[in-house]
Amino acid sequence: MQSRYFTIHDHPQGMPKRDLFKLEERELPELQDGEVRIRNSWLSVDPYMRGRMDGVTTYIDPFELGKPLEGAAVGEVIESRNSRFKEGDKVRHMGGWRDVAQLPGDQVEALPEFDVPEQAYLGVLGMPGTTAWVGLNIIAEMKDGDNVLVSAASGAVGSLAVQLAKAKGGTVVGIAGDQKKLDWLESQGIKAVSYKGKGAKQLSEDLKAACPEGFDVYFENVGGDCLEAALNNLRVGARIAVCGMISRYNDQTPSAGPGNLAMILIRRARMQGFIVFDHWEHHGDFLKEFASRVASGEIDYQETVEEGLEQTPDAFLKLFEGGNQGKMLVKL
């Protein structure tokens, strides 16, 4: 059995180039006791993967040069020497960036049995959905009637965060880029504000116009001008859940922090970063609350799909160009 997979052989400086990624092939070893072999059907690419390419341990180990890259994937078991799995089982695991994965069974989980497409477990009912739920409910302690601001509000996490926040009844504002994304936010009853061609000052004024009374919760995905503008529009006692800062992921030198950081003091605000894997015990709670709403069509989740294993690096790079609406996926 052959497996095709992507590797990198160098650490990128700044925005990665397409030729950083090499498609390689190897014969898989004989299946050992406890292992399963999986033919992947869907792959996930996510912004956090950029940090793993730098060769530095952060909250997760870096990718190893010359070794298969990793990421979330769903697929079908095609061979098993593990009593928990049989041929034909649909599963989720971290053996992505490849067409066939061979893994110990303790690194594989069966897909829950909700009436949703299997790729939903990489997006709306996977890490992005759980991230939105944890960030708002556990980190920001969102309450009924809170005014909520979300940056990258049409992305995999942000598009779910705005819908969760809207259900709480307060004013919800989403920051996004192109007109298609802004239109989608408006269709969900979200006040949409564009960041394109604006600095922090203009963006701050636009947020003020969208929600004059200010925000109780800010769900941060971007950093930079978005963070500075948000700080200018906090209410007293506001909570900021820092999920990501994608505007900084390709910076080659440290960037200056927002010049108005004192607003955290003035507004007596709390700002907390979080990694969803530290809170994965809440994934079951999230599914109980959220899965039926997804299955019924109540949640309008978005997907951007690239087809073919060869397109995986292109799908990943598009994340940093605003090339996705909702979850970016690769269909094999």
Domain boundaries, the chain: 2-122+302-331, 127-277
Give the pLDDT of residue 32.
97
* Sole residue written with tokens 């701050």: 204
| 30 three-class SS | coil
Domain 127-277 has CATH 3.40.50.300: no
- Of 235, 246, 120, nearest to 173 by C-alpha is 235
Please give the model's pTM, rounded to 2 decimal places.
0.92
Tell me the per-residue pLDDT of 266-281, one tens digit each, with 9 for 90 and over: 999 999 999 999 999 9
How does DSSP assign 48-74, residue by residue?
Answer: THHHHTTS--SSSPPPPTTSPP-B-EE
Q: How far apart are CA 62 and CA 232, in angstroms?
A: 35
| 290 three-class SS | helix
Tell me the per-residue pLDDT of 20-50, one tens digit each, with 9 for 90 and over: 999 999 999 999 999 999 999 999 999 999 9
* Sole residue written with tokens 């940090």: 51
Which one-letter amino acid corresponds to residue 204? S
Q: Do the Cβ atoms of 331 and 189 come closer than 8 Å?
A: no
Give the pLDDT of residue 68.
98
The class (CATH top level) of 2-122+302-331 is alpha beta
pLDDT at 255 over 90: no
Which tokens go with 226? 């978005």
- Pairing type for strands 270-273 and 234-242 reads parallel
